[in-house]
Structure 1
Amino acid sequence: MILISVIIPVFNSVTTLERAVRSVIDSASVLEVIIVDDGSSDGSIELAQDLSRRFEQVMLVQHPNGRNRGGCASRNLGLACSKGSWIQFLDADDEILVDKIAGQIELVSEHSPFVVGNSIHVFPDGRRHFRKADRDVWKGLIRGKLGDTCANLWNRCSLVEVGGWDESLSSSQEYDLMFRLVCINPNVIFDSRFMTLIHKTLNSVSTNLENAKFRNFNWLSLRERIRLYLVDQGIFDLRKKYFWSGAVGNFCREQGAVLPEKVNFFFCKIYYIELQLRRKAYQIISSSR
């Protein structure tokens, strides 16, 4: 039987932590739920201790001296403590739906670095966005549509092989990790279901405007690394060039960032037109439901 370690980094998430734990605790394959406190001061530690008393699978670990080290360092600490052969990372303010883990276990192969899952982004005003992954690995990496931290299921051996999460990054962490994993093994598996709820908050790293400069730099730096790798491997074909220029150009347009010299303007323009047509088609379908 394949056993799963769930790793939940926690920083001042006392209002949502129990919801996250309860969303995974009843899965038969869950060997352990490792809550990694990241220097909380709001009662999250006390709640985690209470959860560990109520549920035998739950354990609490902390950084030395109760320090705040960030999400990547916390996931790495949980990974070092884990015993399962596959890893479910879960942010403390998110949750997974029933059978998410069970369904992905049926798909796994020891020769695959991770399972790509789809997610549902839930906004404070009640809106929901269904985020669907691309089935083409490199296209998904370039466009940022190859699942995400919580929607995916991760092969522990593969994570250890690439050295885990890059603790120097404050954004684009999961795509940096996926890129390194794909470089050693591109045979990822796809789960077509939408089984993960990502609760978006106004003060999250992904929505905080103060972090825009660092987000842009990390996002663009990773796409340049991807481009250079594809060129070096001799697989940066016309199709990949199109998606790379289009995705990078569209990102710079939306974020007000400087367009890199390597972007093909013609590809960028066609990609933008295609994207607009897709968005209009999506709006028409959504309004007719």
Structure 2
Amino acid sequence: MTTMKISVIIPVYNAEKYITQAVESALQFEETYEIILIEDKSPDNALEVCRKLAENNPRIKLYQHPDKRNHGAGATRNLGIEKATGDFIAFLDADDYYCPNRFDAEKELFKNPEVEGVYGAIGVHYYSEKAKEQYYSIFKDHLTTVYKKHDPEYVFPGLLNMRGSFGLFSLDGLTIRKSALTKVNTIFKTHLRLHQDTEFIFRLSYYTNLYPGIIDQAVAMRGVHENNRITQVDSGKIKPSISRVLLWREVNKWAQSENSISEDIKTHIKRMLRSFEIANASAPKKWAIISKYLVTDFHSIRSGLYNINFRKHLF
């Protein structure tokens, strides 16, 4: 097999301290055909750092949105995919970095044309003691991974929490054939400011054949620092429950419009949405929501009452 041509897409926002490490971690692989930096109107000096990186290496390509404004991670990754010329797409956040084994599994698995995507495990790196103190309770030292190897048809229901303890994977550990992205229609939903990556992975796992790569050790590291995007959630600017309601509303909207999705899965997705809507509601509104859906969506509520994760939000 000839060397893979992988386009590594890195959205850049407020990451002048970290982007060089991210880029260098991707440059170590001969499979990295190009690194596409999409600078998203950073308030720091990230644009100038990116310019110097691009000037010094022909594999690094720098772009901005046509209007030079900030558009968020979803639109920025979409632009990166549009600009990519490699046969495969990999993603990397600007404050994260790849491990030396990042594409070891891909080099073998993609020899099979039926393999449309490969996912691996992600580790955690704390950039400071303050960051570790602030976020250790969230990330600890755990791998973000699917707990055991599954055939592609089990990935979608597994990620939806329909198969018990399944686990999950993130964009940093995902490599996808660019040709397979045509199956997904809309790539990243730009109106979702949070969880647009999760929503994309749900749809991707439904439409394409995703295979496990290295899931028992990290192929990339999530960089945790005081200015991570997750601080928007923890600081109270965006409540976690609200962001999850918006996520599951989007997933439900898509699922109900997709005729090939089974009714069991559609009901499960409705139940997940109802669960987060109830969790986010004040005490009086909880029962108003339940009463509403007992009339309009009795089957979903009834099935939810048999689920402990659903019931715990009622009180």
TM-score bucket of the superposed structures, by smaller chain: 0.7 to 0.9
Deviation at 1:54, TM superposition (A): 2.5
Does the 8 Å contact 1:139/1:243 carry over to 2? Answer: no
Q: Does 1:115 align with 2:93?
A: no
Going from structure 1 to structure 2, the CA distance change for 1:182 and 1:55 (only over 3 Å counts) comes to same
Measured in 2, the distance between the counterparts of 1:114 and 1:254 equals: 34
Spell out, residue by residue over 1:162-219, the C-alpha distance to the aligned partner (whole angstroms, 9 max, x if none): 232221211221232223333433x211122421211234544434231226412223
Q: Give the alignment partner of residue 11 of structure 1, picking from 13, 23, 33.
A: 13
Measured in 2, the distance between the counterparts of 1:270 and 1:48 equals: 45
Which structure 2 segments of 5+ residues have no match?
Answer: 294-299
Measured in 2, the distance between the counterparts of 1:268 and 1:202 equals: 36
Which structure 1 segments of 5+ residues have no match?
Answer: 274-289
Measured in 2, the distance between the counterparts of 1:204 and 1:266 equals: 36
Deviation at 1:3, TM superposition (A): 0.8
Q: Does 1:188 align with 2:206?
A: no
Which aligned pairs between 1:1-289 and structure 2 lie closer than 5 A? 1=2, 2-108=4-110, 109-123=112-126, 124-125=131-132, 127-133=140-146, 135=150, 136-143=154-161, 145-161=167-183, 162-185=185-208, 187-191=209-213, 192-193=215-216, 194-208=218-232, 209-212=236-239, 214-225=242-253, 228=256, 233-234=261-262, 236=264, 261=293, 262-263=300-301, 264-269=303-308
Does the 8 Å contact 1:90/1:149 carry over to 2? Answer: yes
Measured in 2, the distance between the counterparts of 1:229 and 1:117 equals: 30
Matched-pair identity in %: 22
What's the TM-score once normalised by structure 2's chain length? 0.72
Going from structure 1 to structure 2, the CA distance change for 1:267 and 1:167 (only over 3 Å counts) comes to same
Q: How many residues align structurally?
A: 269
Q: Please tell me the root mean square deviation across aligned C-alpha atoms, in Å.
A: 3.2
Does the 8 Å contact 1:242/1:271 carry over to 2? Answer: no
Measured in 1, the distance between the counterparts of 2:258 and 2:66 equals: 40
Measured in 2, the distance between the counterparts of 1:20 and 1:138 equals: 29
**Greater mean alpha carbon deviation, residues 13-22 or residues 207-216:** 207-216
Deviation at 1:252, TM superposition (A): 6.6
SS of residue matched to 1:128: coil
Spell out, residue by residue over 1:210-241, the C-alpha distance to the aligned partner (whole angstroms, 9 max, x if none): 1226412223214534764788633627xx97
Going from structure 1 to structure 2, the CA distance change for 1:272 and 1:122 (only over 3 Å counts) comes to farther
Does the 8 Å contact 1:220/1:248 carry over to 2? Answer: yes
Going from structure 1 to structure 2, the CA distance change for 1:253 and 1:150 (only over 3 Å counts) comes to farther
Going from structure 1 to structure 2, the CA distance change for 1:272 and 1:195 (only over 3 Å counts) comes to farther
What's the TM-score once normalised by structure 1's chain length? 0.78
Q: In the alignment, what sits opposite 1:287? A: none
